[in-house]
Structure 1
């Protein structure tokens, strides 16, 4: 059997008809909910960056993103890291949106891309001359940020695709 089965004049659940071509089209993306989720993810990613830095600096006493004398909170670099994490979450939201409207299996592509970017960021400190503990501490902070963004946005991708109207899910 090819194509979707129809029930009267309505398509089967999960199948949308494109009246211009008479064939199937992509399920619509609820862009408003997606970008609201992206902003919320940006806030969580920024907080995750601060908490991970506090853990590595304050609990494990590893000087990451600031000299050791800057204390557990570090210096202004911690704020920059939080801002970059928030920006990365917004860029990732744009990537999710692009993948939702252009690819099959968008969540799989998104997770693959973000995991590879996270792995690259985690490997970056190991290409420098900083101390071994600082390398691992920096990689751990990047891992927390990447996992936060990947987890939240990949879960949201299925919730915003296929919605005919806001609040339909």
Structure 2
């Protein structure tokens, strides 16, 4: 006898009467529970990201010829700053200065300042070249080192004399030499650094 309820579906729990067992689907063995619908795996919605192998980190190197040509030009500029500073303050304004160490015993303040400025530029260039080849952020390290060196050479004349005017002007010359070396070598490095993939 058919159920008089309109829209009755034995498999639908919303239309099945209370207490009435579900009717197994056609073809199912007697006593076998109805097959459950396939469940959805939520992990399928979030697939594992693909792991890609990153290329080798680039290594920095220097175009040695152009770099050291720029270093030589920087040494010339540093020497000229020291030479002009002595001429202006001592020869024109007759202000006594505190000379830097005369490394080659020239007996001349002008020569001592020019030679020491050139030596500072060459040493700074060698340090920068070494930092480029060995450190991850060479220009940052070079900037910090040069800043500290400039502070030292700028205040060093105050430890050698009690004349504040002479110490201040000598420190000013040293300061100009240090800033010129720093800025010029930083520009040279920016033009001559080459990035090459690691082997």
Question: CA shift at 1:27, angstroms?
Answer: 3.1
User: Tell me, which stretches of 5 or more residues in structure 2 are unaligned?
Assistant: 1-50, 100-106
Cα gap change, 1:24/1:163 in structure 2, threshold over 3 Å: closer, same or farther?
Answer: closer
Q: Is the 8 A contact 1:48 1:145 kept in 2?
A: yes
Deviation at 1:87, TM superposition (A): 1.0
- Is the counterpart of residue 76 in structure 1 residue 82 in structure 2? no
Partner residue, 1:44: 77
Question: Is the 8 Å Cα contact of residues 122 and 140 (structure 1) preserved in structure 2?
Answer: yes
Distance 1:33 1:27, change over 3 A: same
SS class of match (2:185)? helix
Inter-partner Cα distance in structure 2 for 1:140 and 1:112: 20
Shift of 1:123: 1.1
Q: Structure 1, unaligned stretches of length 5 or more?
A: 5-16, 18-22, 67-74, 165-169
Query: How far apart are the structure 2 equivalents of 1:143 and 1:2?
Result: 50
Alpha-carbon offset, residue 36 of structure 1:
0.8
CA distance in 1, matches of 2:179, 2:164: 22
The DSSP-based 3-state class of the residue aligned with 1:27 is strand
**Tell me, what secondary structure is at the counterpart of 1:26?**
strand
Q: Is the 8 A contact 1:122 1:142 kept in 2?
A: yes
Q: CA separation of 1:137/1:163 partners in 2, compared to 1, >3 Å: closer, same or farther?
A: same
Q: TM-score, normalised by structure 1?
A: 0.73
SS at match of 2:62: coil
After superposition, the CA RMSD in angstroms is 2.3
Point out the structure with the larger helix share: 1
Corresponding residue of 1:63: 96
Hey, what's the Cα distance between the residues in 1 that align with 2:181 and 2:140?
14
Give the CA deviation at 1:138. 0.7
CA distance in structure 2 between the partners assigned to 1:161 and 1:111 by the alignment = 16
The structure with the larger Rg is: 2
